[in-house]
Amino acid sequence: MLRIQRAPGADIYRYRQDLKQYLVRTKTTATALARDVGVNQSTVQRFLAGDTKNVTRRMRGVLRYAGIDVEIRIAEAPQAAADHPRIRKALERVWDGRPQSADVLASLIEAIGPFVQQSFPTGPGASKGERT
């Protein structure tokens, strides 16, 4: 059967970075963390190396142990532009997780900003039919 590879969600990259920061902050190793939590060392190593595309049940336990919030909150309203479902979906399609790619995407978004603002004016002068 043909399998289509999906890019991992943006959250997994944040979790990975948060876990790396936890290891540095606590001066521990991935092996020691895995032992403390009771999972295979290779599970943690693969996650940190970026070899996994999703957060497994075991890795959720590791992340929770490290104090990293992995709970899904459906009822929460978006807090930032990246939390908007349409923007998040677009980012997940194109961002490969590398910092260099994030810089390029941010530059592109900033470059089209004036066009977007001009296309959808806000404030007292905006007409009723336009988006605010």
Same domain, 32 and 56: yes
Domain for residue 99, yes or no? yes
Domain for residue 76, yes or no? no
Confidence check: pLDDT of 12 > 90: no
33-53 burial: b if 16+ Cβ within 10 Å, else e = bbeebebeeebbeebbeeeee
Share of the chain above pLDDT 90, in %: 33
pLDDT of the residue at 76: 45
Same domain, 87 and 61: no
Domain for residue 41, yes or no? yes
3-state class (DSSP) for residue 20: helix
| Domain total of the chain | 2
State the residue range of the domain holding 105: 81-119
* CATH for 14: 1.10.260
